Amino acid sequence: MERTLVLVKPDGVQRGLVGAIVARLEHRGLKLIGLKMMRISQDIAARHYAEHQGKPFYDGLIGFITSGPVVAMIWEGREAVSVVRSLMGATDPLKAAPGTIRGDLALDLGMNLIHGSDSPARAETEIALFFSRGELHEYERTMDRWVRE
Ligand code: DAT
Ligand code: MG
């Protein structure tokens, strides 16, 4: 079963949207297996956003993601990576479709509320960057027995 890393960014925490974002992922049927509030260090931020190093928005991106606490989560489910990406909406909230988290709740390109891993391979790397094994909580839901992989 696929897993993905989700971050509620500092704007989401400060706007009181953690519950709304968690609810959307829960309601879709994804399974929450890890959750913590944390302040992202410069080191973790640089490793997490290494792909954007050198881009004009990089310094602002690192400054923003380290500016306040985030809520980090691991969600599990069938094709969880792409399911979360579609629930998030486009990177620029102005282009995000209504019905998506960014399309309904955000307006600014930097403060776009949520991070979700963009591929299964990236998800594995990001999960290892943010969570230790003991912070992942596996549990059985009755309906998991009938879920196709
Ligand atoms: P996503 O968060 O949808 O995966 P990304 O990985 O391309 O998008 O970029 C990471 C974050 O960087 C994004 O959530 C917001 C910010 N960002 C991306 N492109 C930007 C741009 N052109 N100007 C300002 N911020 C940008
Ligand atoms: Mg990305």
Catalytic: 115?
yes
Residue 145 domain-assigned (yes or no): no
Residue 146 domain-assigned (yes or no): no
Q: List the pLDDT tens digit at each of the 149 positions of the chain.
A: 899 999 999 999 999 999 999 999 999 999 999 999 999 999 999 999 999 999 999 999 999 999 999 999 999 999 999 999 999 999 999 999 999 999 999 999 999 999 999 999 999 999 999 999 999 999 999 988 887 76
Residue 24 domain-assigned (yes or no): yes
Question: What is the pTM for the complete model shown?
Answer: 0.97
Residue 96 domain-assigned (yes or no): yes
| Identity of residue 56 | P
Residue 142 domain-assigned (yes or no): no
Whole-number pLDDT of residue 136: 98
Domain of residue 99, residue span: 2-137
Residue 72 domain-assigned (yes or no): yes
Active-site choice (27, 48, 52, 115): 115
Residue 106 domain-assigned (yes or no): yes
Residue 147 domain-assigned (yes or no): no
Atom 9, ligand 1: residue with shortest CA distance: 91
Atom 16, ligand 1: residue with shortest CA distance: 110
3-state secondary structure the chain: CEEEEEEECHHHHHCCCHHHHHHHHHHHCCEEEEEEEECCCHHHHHHHCHHHCCCCCHHHHHHHHCCCCEEEEEEEECCHHHHHHHHHCCCCCCCCCCCCHHHHHCCCCCCCCEEECCCHHHHHHHHHHHCCHHHCCCCCCHHHHHCCC
CA of 91 to the centre of ligand 1 (A): 6
Q: Please tell me the total count of domains within the chain.
A: 1
Tell me the CATH number at 28: 3.30.70.141
Whole-number pLDDT of residue 103: 98
Whole-number pLDDT of residue 146: 87
